[in-house]
Copies of this chain bind each other. A is one copy, B any other.
Amino acid sequence: MNKKGILLVLSGPSGSGKDTVLNELAKDDGIQLSVSMTTRAKRDWEIDGTHYYFVTPEYFKRKIEADEVLEYTVYSGNYYGTPKAAIDEWLNEGKTVVLKIEVEGAANIRRIYPDAVSVFLLPPSMKVLEERLFRRESEDTEEIKRRLKIAESEILQAEYYDYVVVNDVLDYAVSDLRTIISAENKKTSRNKDLINKILKRI
């Protein structure tokens, strides 16, 4: 009797540290990161197939046509999407599948997977977020300002997520995600079989 896995949707503004947190979480047993696909340019430190599948707009559009993209969104002129293929397979194997997803995409996922658990990763403050973007964007202040505005509007969407986790100290944020996954595994809705087993109905 294989218990179905949890689909965990993680969103957060640029600079909230989604990748760093997920890289740590991915080391745990039973965690399966779903890698998104994007047409945006790869950053130096990013690895194709790990952080994203970096593809051409033509390739992305062909995948959409073939109905092989679970959801996608256009953000800053680039496509971001979730390849369908493996997700249901992993869930049936009982894995916790983690989707890193833009705010808009998350709403779509929740429609398709109502059981999905959604977590919004918050920066400890807008000041800290600004500093992080400053380090990453190498002093393009206009771009930083623009990203901060976007971040603000994204954080306003946090209320539609099930949980919020503040990424101040990395270890704590990762541990919060583990706690959420453990608790979700105790949800009654995920344990009907267990109850029936105790009552010897299955």
List the interface of chain A (C-beta within 8 A of B): 120, 122-126, 152, 155-156, 158-166, 176, 179-180, 182-184, 186-188, 191-192, 194-195, 198-200
A152 to B165, CA, bound (A): 39
A122 to B198, CA, bound (A): 8
A176 to B156, CA, bound (A): 32
Closest Cβ–Cβ distance, residue A176 to chain B (whole Å): 6
Closest Cβ–Cβ distance, residue A90 to chain B (whole Å): 22
**Residues on B with beta carbons closer than 8 Å to the beta carbon of A191:** 164
A152-B199, A156-B199, A199-B152 known; A163 vs B179 contact (CB < 8 Å) = no
A155 to B198, CA, bound (A): 9
Each complex incorporates copies of this chain amounting to 2
**Residues on B with beta carbons closer than 8 Å to the beta carbon of A126:** 198-200
A126-B199, A179-B183, A183-B179 known; A188 vs B159 contact (CB < 8 Å) = yes
A126 to B166, CA, bound (A): 42
A158 to B197, CA, bound (A): 13
A28 to B8, CA, bound (A): 29
Given contacts A161-B188, A180-B186, 5 further A-B contacts (CB under 8 A): A123-B198, A126-B200, A159-B192, A163-B188, A166-B194
A91 to B120, CA, bound (A): 25
**Residues on B with beta carbons closer than 8 Å to the beta carbon of A198:** 122-126, 155
A183-B183, A184-B183 known; A195 vs B163 contact (CB < 8 Å) = no
A199 to B126, CA, bound (A): 7
A199 to B155, Cβ gap below 8 A?
yes
Closest Cβ–Cβ distance, residue A171 to chain B (whole Å): 15
A164 to B180, Cβ gap below 8 A?
no
**Residues on B with beta carbons closer than 8 Å to the beta carbon of A159:** 188, 192, 195
